[in-house]
């Protein structure tokens, strides 16, 4: 199902938020919640205070207007305009919120006003109270700012109308003052919230960070660290469950190590027994069977000498040829089982003999380069390298179709490296059949000595076999 643009945007936002640190998330939630709550409260308070102040200012203006209307009635009836103006000035002086005050006659002419620089044009027409109205209020935008203009009929409008202008500044100043106080309160609450959030973050994330550190140690095979139980809550239960899991993993790893050690010991014993049996059979073939065949050939030669029959001569010669071929096969078999040069002369001589014999037998050009120094390697290491290279050459002869093969054995500071390369058909190393090519046996021999075996190949690009086996510590230090 194809996502819409809105869904993609939400998913992207969720990915960004999900990648943020837990501490940042908690602090962001606290700050955001505090700001949203403070803003909502401030707006609600501002609106409530504004409505309340507007009502109070209007009521104050109506009260002033009604008082002015009542006191001006007699003055209007006796036509005492001077006293009427003094009344207006007194009203403005006694009430700081009064911007202006004036009185109109029933025809709308100005009888008296507080304006010193002339009556503003158009002011008389903006507000008018009917004869039966208690008052009439209009909000004006003047040069002095917003003003509530309140018109109150005098003697039911028969004597005129009293007009009072009440400044709107008191409302704005009061709202601004309360808003400033609310802002300061918000900042104080935000600071306290940040401190509480920091403490809460420490309580929540400290066990999680410790759990992450212990998890990384467990991932690297170290099962000894444990997570502390910080509190008797869900995180504490998680710590106990994790410690129990780690303990089980430690026991399982210990059993695995014991089994691996037993397997290694068993495999070492099998290989040692195998090599010993090969050595015994090789010596028996060399010392026993070879001598018997040699004696048989000598006896056939003597028979050929003492007998004059041409038929006997021919049969004796044929038997001698057969015995010679069998003797050669026995020598080859004895060498394959356990070359005497490996025990007597060491790995370099055994490998050179192996490569030469292999080259002559399979008619494939081969060369070997050996740099091991004067000191011999440990016997187990020599045997492992010899068998691995022997198996590699066997695989080349059977499967590679190569024309050239090279082998390198080199002692380095801390390890011995062996490389066997050919220019044969190659194969896909990702689908290597280890059992068919004997790779499993070669790899086991390398791993028993703490080494590793790597094969690199591609169709048509030949094959390269790399063996790295560390030297024993004393051996490595000596070299």
In percent, how much of the chain has pLDDT > 70? 81
- Is residue 478 predicted with pLDDT exceeding 50? no
Q: Model confidence at 436, in pLDDT bands (50, 70, 90)?
A: low
Alpha helices in 285-365, H assignment, sequence order:
290-306, 310-337, 340-344, 347-362
CATH of domain 22-176: 3.30.450.20
| Beta strand segments in 89-144, E | 98-104, 110-113, 136-142
Chain centre to alpha carbon of residue 434: 36
Instruction: Tell me yes or no: is domain 346-478 CATH 3.10.580.10.
Output: no
Give whole-number Cα distances, 46 to 180, 353, 477, in Å: 11, 102, 84
| pLDDT score of 249 more than 70 | yes
Whole-number pLDDT of residue 190: 80
In this structure, are residues 239 and 229 in contact, taking their beta carbons and an 8 Å threshold?
yes
Parallel, antiparallel, or unpaired: how do β-strands 160-167 and 145-154 relate? antiparallel
Tell me the domain boundaries of the chain: 22-176, 346-478
Q: What is the pLDDT of residue 340?
A: 61
Q: Is 366 exposed, middle or buried (0-12, 13-18, 19+ CB in 10 A)?
A: buried
For residues 475 and 99, the model is more confident at 99
Q: What's the confidence (pLDDT) of residue 163?
A: 92
Report how far apart, in Å, the C-alpha atoms of 14 and of each of 7, 26, 113, 343 are.
10, 15, 67, 70
Identify the pLDDT of residue 375: 82
With beta carbons less than 8 A apart as the criterion, state whether 340 and 353 touch: no
Strand partners, 410: 371, 417
The CA-based dihedral angle spanning residues 335, 338, 342, 345, taken in that order and rounded to the nearest 10 degrees: -60
Higher pLDDT, 180 or 285: 180
Tell me, what's the pLDDT at 282? 61
Overall pTM surpassing 0.75 (yes/no): no
Q: Is the model more confident about 252 or about 341?
A: 252
pLDDT band at 459 (very low <50, low <70, confident <90, very high): confident
22-176 and 346-478 agree in CATH topology: no
3-state secondary structure of 434: helix
Band of residue 106 on the pLDDT scale cut at 50, 70, 90: confident
What is the C-alpha to C-alpha distance for residues 191 and 196, in angstroms, rounded to an integer? 9
Residue 434 pLDDT > 60, yes or no?
Answer: no
- Pick from 302, 358, 301: which is nearest to 324 by CA? 301
Q: What local confidence, expressed as pLDDT, does residue 101 receive? A: 92
| pLDDT band of 253, cuts 50, 70, 90 | confident
d(CA 378, CA 337): 20
Return phi, psi of residue 212, to 5°: -65, -45
Is the per-residue pLDDT at 320 higher than 90?
A: no
Output the pLDDT for position 341.
60
pLDDT of residue 439: 80
Asked if residue 421 has pLDDT above 50, the reply is yes
Check residue 475 and give its pLDDT.
47
Question: How far from 205 is each of 25, 26, 61, 222, CA to CA, in Å?
Answer: 11, 10, 61, 23
pLDDT tens digit string along 347-401?
A: 888 888 888 888 888 888 988 888 888 788 888 788 888 888 888 888 888 888 8
pLDDT band at 207 (very low <50, low <70, confident <90, very high): confident
Of 145-149, 441-445, 474-478, minimum mean pLDDT range:
474-478
For the residues 136-145, what does the mean pLDDT come to? 84
Among candidate residues 375, 476, 379, 467, the one with its CA nearest the CA of residue 421? 467
pLDDT digits (tens, 9 = 90+) for 30-69: 788 888 888 888 888 888 888 888 888 888 888 988 898 8
Highest mean pLDDT among 20-24, 95-99, 432-436: 95-99
- Check the CA dihedral 223-225-227-228 and report its sign: positive
């Amino acid at each position: 199902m194809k996502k819409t643009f809105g869904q993609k945007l939400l998913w992207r936002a969720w990915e960004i938020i999900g990648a943020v640190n837990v501490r940042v998330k908690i602090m962001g939630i606290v700050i955001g919640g505090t700001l949203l709550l403070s803003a909502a409260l401030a707006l609600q308070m501002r609106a409530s205070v504004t409505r309340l102040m507007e009502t109070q200012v209007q009521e104050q203006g109506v009260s002033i207007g009604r008082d002015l209307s009542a006191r001006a009635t007699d003055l209007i009836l006796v036509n005492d305009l001077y006293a009427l103006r003094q009344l207006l000035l007194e009203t403005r002086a006694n009430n700081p919120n009064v911007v202006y005050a004036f009185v109109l006659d029933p025809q709308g002419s100005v009888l008296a006003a507080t304006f010193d620089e002339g009556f503003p044009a158009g002011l008389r027409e903006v507000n008018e109270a009917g004869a039966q109205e208690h008052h009439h209020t209009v909000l004006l935008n003047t040069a002095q700012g917003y003003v509530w203009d309140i018109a109150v009929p005098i003697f039911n409008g028969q004597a005129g109308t009293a007009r009072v202008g009440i400044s709107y500044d008191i409302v704005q100043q009061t709202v601004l003052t309360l808003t400033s106080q609310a802002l300061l309160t918000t900042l104080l609450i935000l600071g306290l919230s940040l401190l509480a959030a920091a403490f809460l973050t420490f309580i929540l994330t400290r066990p999680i960070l410790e759990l992450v550190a212990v998890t990384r140690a467990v991932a690297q095979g170290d099962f000894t660290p444990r997570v502390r139980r910080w509190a008797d809550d869900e995180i504490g239960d998680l710590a106990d469950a994790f410690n129990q899991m780690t303990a089980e993993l430690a026991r399982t790893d210990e059993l695995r190590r014991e089994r691996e050690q037993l397997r290694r010991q068993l495999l070492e014993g099998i290989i040692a027994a195998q090599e010993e049996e090969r050595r015994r059979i090789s010596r028996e073939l060399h010392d026993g069977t070879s001598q018997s065949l040699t004696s048989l050939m000598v006896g056939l030669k003597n028979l050929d000498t003492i007998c004059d029959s041409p038929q006997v001569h021919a049969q004796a010669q044929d038997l001698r040829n057969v015995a010679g071929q069998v003797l050669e096969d026995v020598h080859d078999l004895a060498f394959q089982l356990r070359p005497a040069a490996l025990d007597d002369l060491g790995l370099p001589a055994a490998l050179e003999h192996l490569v030469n014999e292999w080259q002559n037998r399979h008619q494939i050009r081969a060369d070997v380069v050996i740099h091991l120094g004067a000191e011999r390697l440990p016997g187990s290491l020599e045997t492992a390298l010899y068998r691995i290279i022997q198996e590699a050459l066997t695989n080349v002869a059977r499967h590679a179709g190569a024309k050239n093969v090279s082998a390198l054995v080199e002692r380095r500071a801390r390890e011995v490296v062996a490389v066997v390369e050919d220019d044969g058909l190659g194969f896909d190393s990702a689908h290597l059949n280890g059992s068919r090519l004997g790779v499993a046996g070669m790899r086991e021999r390398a791993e028993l000595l703490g080494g590793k075996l790597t094969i690199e190949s591609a169709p048509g690009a030949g094959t390269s076999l790399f063996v790295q086996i560390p030297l024993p510590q004393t051996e490595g230090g000596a070299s």
